[in-house]
Structure formats: C-alpha cells, structure tokens
Amino acid sequence: MANPAKKHKLNVPGPWFCTDPDDDSGEGCIACNVCYTGAPDFFGEDEDGNAYIKKQPKAPEELALCQEQLEACPVASIGTNG
C-alpha cells in the first residue's frame, strides 16, 4: 500500500498520489511506466521517469481508469485517500 507520508513532490493536491522514488519502504516508484502510459491524462513522469499525479480524476470513468493503474502498479506506489 502506498505510503501517504512519502508522496512525490510533483503530485497535484487531492486524494490520488504517487510515492516518491526514495520511499525506503519498498513501495516507491520504480519508473516502470505502467501508469503514465496507461492513463497519461492523470499520471505524469518526472525527469527520472518516476510517476506523479498531474490531474486528479473526478468522473466515474476517470476514477476507474486510475484504479486500474493503482492495481497494475508492480510496487504499490499509487495511492488514494478518497
């Protein structure tokens, strides 16, 4: 489960977040590109290829798409507080 205390600094405010790659719990982003290729309107990549939330999902289909990315993340670095 993604650690909300270790959010990536580029995440936009809101319930969805990606963890910082330096999260030493083993749940930090590994730059696998699953989320930002699967949902590029919502997930961005920083200069090192690590993911962050660039737009919060709102509509049901947007939430479903982001939930798919959360479930596909190999290191559980995507989280939601909502």
Domains of the chain from N-terminus onward:
14-76 (3.30.70.20)
**What is the reported pTM?**
0.92
At 5-52, the pLDDT tens digits run 899 999 999 999 999 887 666 678 899 999 999 999 999 999 999 999
Lowest mean pLDDT among 19-28, 56-65, 67-76: 19-28
The residue written with tokens 């989320």 in the block is: 35
pLDDT given for residue 14 in this prediction = 97
Q: Is 12 helix (H, G, I), strand (E, B) or coil?
A: coil
From the number of C-beta atoms within 10 Å of its C-beta (0-12, 13-18, 19+), residue 37 rates as: exposed
